[in-house]
């Protein structure tokens, strides 16, 4: 027999895309018993933080928005970061999320005691919740490279995820370290303003040529008048995204097409010596696929030079490379990415004193289906480790995760369960299924990338995105220790 309970209280950590989605879907169900904790002053997460020149999303904008909040006003196929941030701020306003959010409040510790989460915040407060949702995302801690002398540089140093909006690039000598998505996106706009741009490339990556079509007034008006067009555009880009995802999973025509397109793109580089400097040794998509129609154009400008000689140290005036050359700089841009899976709350303790950091030491049973962690009760992660970050839009991943959490909340509210804790055996089963499924994927074809995060296997999803939907469609309660 089931008892009827009051709506369980939910603590949501992070007001980025996934935390907002969790909150909005709770509101859509008439559930207001939740609080969002956000360390910054505004919503937006990565789009609030990453404001470097050229920042954009490499998922088409029509796919990178909530399905229930389509946007007919996107200016481009891949809209810029400011536009995406404006979209999320608009959504936050529409759903009045500020009323539920404690801004400038970091959750410093979370402990599961007496069948509830007790959290402590940077403002010294304590709060209790039945359920905790970590929506802080896998890439929220900047990675600063361990290059000797970095602290001695007398010019300005800016990490791409900590940009100074007032910095004037005009007339400056700029150096950029890092040629992942951030570095590639930043290169073109910096090259248009700086007097000189030195691009330091340790590992060249393949670049997929993808035109960034502009949507004019007519296209926008059509989509406003005929919403079906926007929906169809979304479905089309979802399908395109899925093809890329599948190319990463197994060899076949998709992978060959990507390799051909990247090779063809490299041929844009007219100078044979420069072209060979930029030729990657790894397969396309082994690291995160890079999408750009401007990178190679920028690298061929007269004011841009590509440096493949290793950086030996950073000095007061600039960067010294192994060939002995000093590259004098006014600005050093660190496009060196993030420390992955450093989630927002450092100190999480579950049942029997189990600490998240200790649980994660055990590679074989780190997490349960990317959404939960053995030893942590009533705790869910959105876009958790091993979710399909490389083969599905993060919006879709968050959406699938939120729907999963909502079903768990329904069961708690119905009194069917009070606490649910993934069994270690279920996490181990997930871990061993993962371990046996990477062989054909591109990520293990011989490159290093942040996907590995120090593990022997990448923390990605080695199966089709549709399988993620299937796996998380409904919670399998037999995989959990349940109290009721």
Between the alpha carbon of residue 220 and those of residues 154, 232, 233, the distances in Å are 47, 14, 12
Task: Candidates 11, 80, 183, 375: give the one binding ligand N01 (CB under 6 A).
Answer: 183
Element (H, E) at 34: strand 34-37
Residue that the structure tokens 């929506």 belong to? 135
Q: Is residue 57 close enough to count as binding ligand N01 by CB under 6 A?
A: yes
187 binds ligand N01 (CB under 6 A): no
Tell me 3's DSSP state: P
- Can residue 245 be called a binding residue for ligand N01 (CB under 6 A)? no
Cβ(141)–Cβ(338) below 8 Å: yes
Whichever of 132 and 201 has its CB closer to ligand N01, that residue is: 201
Helix (H) and strand (E) counts in the chain: 13, 23
202 binds ligand N01 (CB under 6 A): yes
DSSP secondary structure, 315-338, as one string? -SSEEEETTS-EEE-SEEEE---E
Q: Report the site for ligand N01 in 302-361 (rule: CB under 6 A).
A: 311, 335-338
Sites for ligand N01 among residues 439-478 (CB under 6 A): 450
Count Cβ atoms within 10 A of the Cβ of residue 69 and give its class: 0-12 exposed, 13-18 middle, 19 or more buried.
Answer: middle
Taking the complex as a whole, the smallest distance from the CB of residue 145 to ligand N01 amounts, in Å, to: 3
Least separation in angstroms between CB 279 and ligand N01: 14
| Smaller CB separation from ligand N01, 203 or 313 | 203
- Given 61, 181, 367, 393, the residue binding ligand N01 (CB under 6 A): 181
Site string for ligand N01, 145-174 (x = CB under 6 A): x-x---------------------------
Query: Of these, 38, 58, 242, 413, which contacts ligand N01 (CB under 6 A)?
Result: 58
For residue 241, state whether it binds ligand N01 (rule: CB under 6 A): no
- The single residue among 174, 177, 382, 405 that binds ligand N01, judged by CB under 6 A, is 177
The most distant pair of C-alpha atoms in the chain lies apart, rounded to whole Å, by: 77
Distance CA 348, CA 155 (A): 39
Under rule CB under 6 A, residue 48 binds ligand N01: no
Rule CB under 6 A: say whether 421 interacts with ligand N01: no
Edge-to-edge strand list for the sheet holding 326-328: 311-314, 318-321, 326-328
Total chain residues near ligand N01 (CB under 6 A) = 23
Write out the two tokens for 478: 């037999």
Q: What residues line the site for ligand N01 (CB under 6 A)? A: 56-58, 139, 145, 147, 177-183, 185, 202-203, 288, 311, 335-338, 450
């Amino acid at each position: 027999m089931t008892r009827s309970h009051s709506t369980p209280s939910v603590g949501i950590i992070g007001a980025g895309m996934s935390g907002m989605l969790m909150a909005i879907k709770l509101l859509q169900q008439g559930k207001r018993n939740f609080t969002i904790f956000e360390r910054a002053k505004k919503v937006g997460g990565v789009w609030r933080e990453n404001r470097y020149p050229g920042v954009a999303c490499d998922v088409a904008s029509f796919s990178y928005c909530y399905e229930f909040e389509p946007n007919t006003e996107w200016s481009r196929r891949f809209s810029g970061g400011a536009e995406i941030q404006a979209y999320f701020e608009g959504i936050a306003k529409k759903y009045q999320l500020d009323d539920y959010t404690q801004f400038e409040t970091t959750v410093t510790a979370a402990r599961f005691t007496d069948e509830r989460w007790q959290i402590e915040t940077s403002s010294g407060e304590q709060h209790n919740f039945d359920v905790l949702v970590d929506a802080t995302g896998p890439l929220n801690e900047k990675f600063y490279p361990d290059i000797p002398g970095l602290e001695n540089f007398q010019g300005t140093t800016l990490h791409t995820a900590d940009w100074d909006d007032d910095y004037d690039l005009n007339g400056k000598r700029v150096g950029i370290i890092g040629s992942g998505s951030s570095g590639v996106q930043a290169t073109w706009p910096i090259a248009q303003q700086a007097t000189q741009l030195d691009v330091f490339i340790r590992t060249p990556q393949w670049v997929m040529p993808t035109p960034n079509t502009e949507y004019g007034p007519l296209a926008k008006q059509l989509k406003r008048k005929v919403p079906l067009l926007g929906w169809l555009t979304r479905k089309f880009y979802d399908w395109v995204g899925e093809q890329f995802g599948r190319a990463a999973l197994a060899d076949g025509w998709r992978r060959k097409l990507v390799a051909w397109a990247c090779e063809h793109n490299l041929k844009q580089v007219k100078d044979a010596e420069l072209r060979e400097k930029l030729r990657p040794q790894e397969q396309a998509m082994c690291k995160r696929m890079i999408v750009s129609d401007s990178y190679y154009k920028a690298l061929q400008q007269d004011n841009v030079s590509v440096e493949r000689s290793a950086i030996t140290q950073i000095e007061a005036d600039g960067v010294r490379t192994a060939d002995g050359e000093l590259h004098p700089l006014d600005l050093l841009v660190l496009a060196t990415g993030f420390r992955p899976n450093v989630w927002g709350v450092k100190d999480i303790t579950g049942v029997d004193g189990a600490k998240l950091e200790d649980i994660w030491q055990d590679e074989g049973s780190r997490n349960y289906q990317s959404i939960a962690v053995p030893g942590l009760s009533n705790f869910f992660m959105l876009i958790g480790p091993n979710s399909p970050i490389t083969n599905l839009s993060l919006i879709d991943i968050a959406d699938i995760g939120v729907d999963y959490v909502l079903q768990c909340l329904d069961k708690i509210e119905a009194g069917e369960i009070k606490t649910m804790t993934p069994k270690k055996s279920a996490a181990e089963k997930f871990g061993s299924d993962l371990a046996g499924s990477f062989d054909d994927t591109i990520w293990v074809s011989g490159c290093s990338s942040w996907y590995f995060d120090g593990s022997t296997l990448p923390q990605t999803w080695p199966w089709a995105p549709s399988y993620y939907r299937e796996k998380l469609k409904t919670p399998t309660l037999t995989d959990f220790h349940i109290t009721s």
